[in-house]
Amino acid sequence: MSVHDFIVVGSGATGSMAAQTLAERGARVLMLDGGQRDDKYAALTPRANFVDIRKKCEEQHRFLLGDAFESVPRGGIRAGAQLTPSRQVILREVDRFLPYTSDGFAPMESLAFGGLGAGWGLGCCVFSDFELRAAGLKPSEMRGAYQTAASRIGISGTSDDAELYTFDGISGIQPSVPLDPTCAEISQRYARKRERLRRKGFRLGRPALALLTEPYDERSATQLRDMDYYDDAEQAAWRPWITVSRLMKRPNFQYLGDSFVTHFKESEGRVNVRSLDMRTLEVRTHACRKLVLASGTFGTARLVLRSRGDFTRNLPFLCNPYTYLPCVVPNRVGRSMPDKRTGFGQLVLFHDPDDMNRDVAFAAMYTYRSLLLFRLLREVPLNINDALIFMRYLLSGFVIVGIHHPDRFSPEKTLKLVESPASPTGDALAFSYALNATEQHAVDARERMYAETLRELNAWPIKRVRPGYGSSIHYTGTLPFANGENGRAHALDPSGRLHGTKNVFVADGSGFTYLPAKSLTLSLMANAHLVAERLTR
Amino acid sequence: MNQLGTAASREAQILSRYLLGRTADRQTCELYEKATASFTRGTAARDERIATFAITHPWSLAPLDGALALVNPHSVLRQKLLIAAAILEACPAYYDAFLSQERSKAYLLTVMFVLIRAACRAVLGLLLLRYIR
């Protein structure tokens, strides 16, 4: 059995970033990954814009709804309910290999090629020094790492009131995509009330998105086809699979899909890794000098607890509480929508009450079209015939505002590994998550302020939807960073090394000891790069 | 087409007429048949009876749909309507019924009428629900 320099577990935003850093520095890298791919729907999607497809394509029901109608939601609201058929691959095999029990927390994990990054909303933010320190990260190192990650993925954005929170300190930013007329209305209203809203702590601006508006690094600019949730045709939107596919062309990089890593064990200066072939459940073994875990906060927690046979200890974790407010901009209802547009975030609204860029709340605003009207109809408390007339009229003025709140550790947020004989690994994760009274009060108060501010911006909230704990899909903190071996068995030192090991490192968000509300992915990628960079020094 | 297929096809026609006031084409009927086979398994008997009543008495579709939107939004009837709406929306023949359009300010009166009608339908539906046991 050959011994690789590094084995990277997972191909998501962190795994791809760590692997790129390692491979570019000449290390021999093996990536083990669930590797589930959409081999059907994206290929069916014509390279035309949304309206033309709707007018002409007889087969559109296949990629809009799915051959088994898997994209038509059943039952109540859940994480992933909005996934289109091509993005449903994100959840493929998850129920089987990543089972969980919970009293109300619904995590979203993935075994897809590119992990959860296959459906990432592309939002990029930089954490402030306060937030980085609270998360256990070094601001001086992270600033450079943000630039590296941004240069690899390509980011578009605008210098405005949101810049401090989105791409402050990062160069090479491309211009934003054109603003949707409905959000332009909100933006103009903000410009008129700017000083007053700033005094209240609110800052509105364009999001920084990992979406190219100019050709870059052999990738095309977005064609604004409004098919963002269905295909990655131009590679304008950065997805982890783009990076991993390029790495596969390098002689020092090897990718092994359908691999579900179950155990690791250190022995005589190397790490032995055991995986299951996801099709046959055959056991495979691999060896490396150093192991880099990047299978997501919960995936890594499973792997560490299982490898150590720990079915007793609770691990902490963090997850942004998430609420969305469907809003209506009255001036924009009953209007047509532009053909050229994107479904990604149009605006971001930060709440920074003391103007210190700490404990900032974050909201992203989306206009709605390509996810289809029927998904909205089911949420309207009217008969569907009348709801259709009503929502069709509102649609052009409809804005969905998703609010993320920061999260901190508390005894009410824990997980542990439990036995589950039915699963291929014989175990499952048991989650317990609740906000305490103080946290809930803060969330409620913040959401009231957001609703009030949105009304000032002429975006009128019509409902408050709390899709449930876990729906933010931002998770960190299972193996918190700690200085020195402080008695915590399951923790990381600041370099990302797992306590009690010499050669096992974690490159995902497991170590973060605080979870800011801002978009998390760029910070995860920057940290992954740093972990990998330290390993190659 | 087998007996189930005929029934599902007829159901698709009824739902299409209710949703859009238009007859469903063959493709829509076939897709609806395929979709409902997987969508309505393992449901409560009363739920099924409400759906059957609504489909055999198309005049009651709107009231029952409106009432269920308030008291049981994930009921069989609502699921059937949702899948019918999804299929119609994803057919080129009907796509325009689901996209926003430029409307005059006077259209607001139509929307207000629709909302009042929806409220009346829901009240009637709530009364009907008491009748269907």
- Contact status of A77 with chain B (Cβ, < 8 Å): no
Q: List residues bridging with A417 in a β-sheet.
A: A429
Provide the 3-class DSSP secondary structure of residue A282.
Answer: coil
Phi/psi at A219 (5° precision): -115, 150
CA distance A216 to A403: 31
**Pairing label, strands A283-293, A504-506:** parallel
* CA A189 to the chain's CA centroid: 30
Chain B residue with CA closest to A71: the answer is: B86
DSSP state of A222: P
Tokens of A208: 């920084």
For CA atoms A345, A79, A103, A112, give the dihedral sign: negative
Q: What is the pLDDT of residue A73?
A: 84
- Contact status of A387 with chain B (Cβ, < 8 Å): yes
- Residue A76's alpha-carbon distances to A72, A79, B74, in angstroms, are 12, 10, 7
- Contact status of B69 with chain A (Cβ, < 8 Å): yes
- Could you report the predicted ipTM of this complex, rounded to two decimals? 0.95
Residue A486 pLDDT greater than 60, yes or no: no
User: Which positions in chain A touch B74 (Cβ < 8 Å)?
Assistant: 74-76
- Radius of gyration, alpha carbons of chain A: 22
Span A506-531, average pLDDT = 98
Containing A414, the helix (H) or strand (E) segment is strand A414-419
Beta-carbon count within 10 A of B90 CB: 27
Provide the 3-class DSSP secondary structure of residue A153.
Answer: helix
User: Which positions in chain A touch B31 (Cβ < 8 Å)?
Assistant: 61
- Residue B45's alpha-carbon distances to A334, B41, B50, in angstroms, are 41, 11, 9
Distance from CA of B30 to the nearest CA of A (A): 12
Asked whether the beta carbons of residue A72 and residue B62 sit closer than 8 angstroms, the reply is no
Of A69, A74, A381, the CB nearest to B70: A381
CA distance A160 to A32: 41
Tokens of B7: 């029934």
- Contact status of B39 with chain A (Cβ, < 8 Å): yes
What does the longest C-alpha to C-alpha distance in chain B come to? 49
CA distance A506 to A509: 8
CA distance A160 to A290: 43
Asked whether the beta carbons of residue A65 and residue B86 sit closer than 8 angstroms, the reply is yes
Candidates B20, B71, B77, B99: best to mutate against A (most CBs of A within 10 A) is B99
Comparing CA positions, the residue from A63, A77, A71 lying closest to residue A91 is A71
- Contact status of A392 with chain B (Cβ, < 8 Å): yes
Chain A residue with CA closest to B125: the answer is: A383
pLDDT tens-place string over residues A131-161: 999 999 999 999 999 999 999 999 999 999 9
Asked whether the beta carbons of residue A74 and residue B39 sit closer than 8 angstroms, the reply is yes
User: Which positions in chain B touch A390 (Cβ < 8 Å)?
Assistant: 111, 114-115, 118
Residue with tokens 């729907």: A41
Residue A416 pLDDT greater than 70, yes or no: yes
- Contact status of A378 with chain B (Cβ, < 8 Å): yes
The pLDDT > 70 percentage for chain A reads 98
DSSP state of A495: T
- Contact status of B50 with chain A (Cβ, < 8 Å): no
Candidates A329, A382, A393, A465: best to mutate against B (most CBs of B within 10 A) is A382
pLDDT tens-place string over residues A281-313: 999 999 999 999 999 999 999 999 999 999 999
Beta-carbon count within 10 A of A311 CB: 12
Q: What is the pLDDT of residue B85?
A: 97
Asked whether the beta carbons of residue B92 and residue A57 sit closer than 8 angstroms, the reply is yes
Of B98, B102, B121, the CB nearest to A335: B102
Q: Is the pTM of this model over 0.90?
A: yes
Residue with tokens 């020195």: A484
Q: A175-179, A485-489, A510-514: which range is least confident on average?
A: A485-489
For CA atoms A337, A339, A340, A343, give the dihedral sign: positive
Contact at 8 Å (CB) between B15 and B76?
Answer: no
| Angle A411-A412-A413 from CA coordinates, rounded to 5° | 90
* CB burial readout A222-259, b (16+ within 10 A) else e: bebbbbbbbbbbbbbbbbbbbbbbebeeeeebbbebbb
Residue A373 pLDDT greater than 50, yes or no: yes
Contact at 8 Å (CB) between B24 and B88?
Answer: yes
User: Which positions in chain A touch B114 (Cβ < 8 Å)?
Assistant: 386, 389-390
Comparing CA positions, the residue from A351, A364, A513, A381 lying closest to residue A446 is A351
- Contact status of A463 with chain B (Cβ, < 8 Å): no
With a CB cutoff of 8 Å and minimum separation 6, the contacts of A486 are none
Chain B residue with CA closest to A55: the answer is: B92
Of B20, B85, B100, the CB nearest to A377: B85
Containing A6, the helix (H) or strand (E) segment is strand A3-9
Distance from CA of A337 to the nearest CA of B (A): 7
- Contact status of A388 with chain B (Cβ, < 8 Å): yes
pLDDT tens-place string over residues B52-64: 999 999 999 999 9
CA distance A99 to A44: 31
CA distance B35 to A94: 24
User: Which positions in chain B touch A69 (Cβ < 8 Å)?
Assistant: 34-35, 38-39, 83, 86
Would you kindly state where each structural domain of chain B is located, as residue ranges?
Answer: 3-131
Asked whether the beta carbons of residue A337 and residue B79 sit closer than 8 angstroms, the reply is no
- Contact status of B38 with chain A (Cβ, < 8 Å): yes
| Three-state SS annotation for A47-104 | CCCHHHHHHHCCCHHHHHHCCCCCCCCCCCCCCCCCCCHHHHHHHCCHHHHCCEEECC
| Three-state SS annotation for A161-190 | CCHHHHCCCCCCCECCCCCCHHHHHHHHHH
CA distance A506 to A490: 11
Residue with tokens 């039952």: A75
- Contact status of A233 with chain B (Cβ, < 8 Å): no
Q: Is A466 exposed, middle or buried (0-12, 13-18, 19+ CB in 10 A)?
A: middle
Beta-carbon count within 10 A of A283 CB: 11
Q: A115-119, A185-189, A304-308, A483-487: which range is least confident on average?
A: A483-487
Q: List residues bridging with A427 in a β-sheet.
A: A419
Of B65, B98, B99, the CB nearest to A383: B65
Q: What is the pLDDT of residue A119?
A: 94
pLDDT tens-place string over residues A206-251: 999 999 999 999 999 999 999 999 999 889 999 999 999 999 999 9
Q: What is the mean pLDDT of chain A?
A: 96
Distance from CA of B105 to the nearest CA of A (A): 8
- Residue A252's alpha-carbon distances to A18, A26, A259, A273, in angstroms, are 14, 7, 19, 19
Q: What is the pLDDT of residue B1?
A: 45
Q: How confident is the model at residue A1 (pLDDT cuts 50, 70, 90)?
A: confident
Residue B45 pLDDT greater than 90, yes or no: no
Q: What is the pLDDT of residue A262?
A: 98
CA distance A305 to A430: 12
Strands of the A361-367 sheet, one edge to the other: A202-205, A347-351, A361-367, A398-404, A322-328, A460-461
User: Which positions in chain B touch A384 (Cβ < 8 Å)?
Assistant: 19, 65, 69, 78, 81-82, 85
Q: Which amino acid is at B50?
A: I
Q: Helices (H) and strands (E) in chain B — how many of each? A: 6, 0
End-to-end CA distance of chain B: 32
Residue with tokens 């890593």: A261
User: Which positions in chain A touch B105 (Cβ < 8 Å)?
Assistant: 334
Beta-carbon count within 10 A of A301 CB: 26
Give me the residues of B, 71-130, that contact A with CB < 8 A.
Answer: 73-74, 78-79, 81-83, 85-87, 89-92, 95, 97-105, 107-108, 110-111, 114-115, 117-118, 121-122, 125
What are the start-end ranges of the E strands in A250-397? 253-256, 259-267, 270-277, 283-293, 315-316, 318-319, 322-328, 347-351, 361-367
Asked whether the beta carbons of residue B100 and residue A337 sit closer than 8 angstroms, the reply is yes
